[in-house]
Amino acid sequence: MKLHFLPTNTFRVGRQYELVESNRIAQSAPPALAVLFSDPDVYGLFVPVDPQSKLSPKVAYKDVALLYYSLQTEGRLPRFMLNVYDDETNVTVARLVLDGIVEVEYKGQFVSGAAAQAALYREDAAMPAPVGRLSTISEKAIRYCLVLNDLDPRSIAQRLYSYNTMPVEPSAYANITDSAAVEKLLRVATLTRKGLLNGWKKQLPADKFSWIAWYRQHSSSALKNTRQPTYKMYISPGIDALPDVFYQFVQLLPAIQAFSFKVGAAREGLLRPDKLVVYFKNYTDLQQAAQVLEAALHCEQVQGVPFTCPLDEAGLLSWGIDPPSAEVLKDIEGGSWRAEITDKIAVAISQAHAEGIQKSDALHFIMKKLSLSGVDPTNWMPMNYSTSQN
């Protein structure tokens, strides 16, 4: 949806947030904030005026803080912004209005949040229906969380991230309590004995790493390169189908250019949709691997990972990209792109609740906010990201 070009509009600061400098925030703030405030471009936080509201604090970078102070008196945007105003700046201003940090004058009133949509957008076209199984699952996850009241954004994000986890009877797979049990289930000893894991180094679970991982020898440092994005493929069979799919996958390793793969290290990890993840250095390698795996893997019980881009119709294979670590504020899953998406959605859901947006309109509002924050909600990828990057 196209935005109006906004520099001639009148703006003022919003009434729902106040700006708090970082040095005024208590020393007992969570460690994540201490890391955040070490960024020289961060000025502080936008904090909800009403501490009982469902609104979330927002990072205030120095340029946005300067804009905020400039608009204490209503008027046009300050000259320092107008001198460099372009489409990117226009998106930033629109995002600040949707967030409620800034209000825009529209038909004689100042509006922000959902009420500002008519002021920001040239048209209000209906949101396209989800296409494909994974898009449908992702939309269902958002709709499910929209009906959950009295949850904080962190709890909502966790619900979104874990959506489509398989329910099982308490007794089912109850013996899969550690990595040794997982290896037995997946017949890792047999695969090793047959030489199918030759050239791969195994890493067992550790604190904050609840996976069994394998790395190609001499490639274990690939994940540590923070200057390059990480491409990853999700293989998502149900837990009953996982042993056969894993066995087929390992036999296909010589035909693909993965540098690492990992599988959940206990029952909880095998019930989640993203139970088997494969890493690649570039999109070309991932795409070629997808062609091999789609043709060769046989699975009758597909689970599907929400908020990932499908590689086949069934949703067994999908992919995502973790931008360089400097671009992601690490949180749920070590700063993964899927975790960043669910964080953004959770914040938007909390705002929809706080503003009393009708559930029939909230999904559309959330998708607009995602688009302005750099997420393409049609395929759950970074907006305008080129898959030709290697």
pLDDT at 25 exceeding the cut of 90: no
Lowest mean pLDDT segment, chosen from 66-70, 274-278, 293-297, 327-331:
327-331
pLDDT at 221 exceeding the cut of 50: no
User: What is the model's pLDDT at position 27?
Assistant: 60
pLDDT at 334 exceeding the cut of 50: no
Tally: H helices and E strands in the chain: 14, 15
In angstroms, the CA 44 to CA 60 distance is 5
User: How many other C-beta atoms can be found within 10 angstroms of the C-beta atom of residue 116?
Assistant: 19
What DSSP assignment string belongs to 171-220? TTTTT--SHHHHHHHTTHHHHHHTTTTTTEEEE--BTTB-EEEEEETT-T
Q: Are 249 and 276 in contact (CB under 8 A)?
A: yes
pLDDT at 88 exceeding the cut of 60: yes
Q: What are the residue boundaries of the structural domains of the chain, listed by start?
A: 1-125, 179-303
pTM of the model: 0.86
In 71-96, which positions are buried (b, 16+ CB within 10 angstroms) versus exposed (e)?
A: beeeeebeeebeeeeeeebbbbbbbb
User: What is the model's pLDDT at position 28?
Assistant: 58
User: What is the model's pLDDT at position 82?
Assistant: 94
CA angle 357, 359, 364 (to 5 degrees): 80
Supply the DSSP symbol for 3.
B
- pLDDT-above-90 percentage for the chain: 67
Q: Which amino acid is at 81?
A: M
Supply the DSSP symbol for 163.
T
User: What is the model's pLDDT at position 360?
Assistant: 82
At 313, list the tokens. Answer: 């119709």
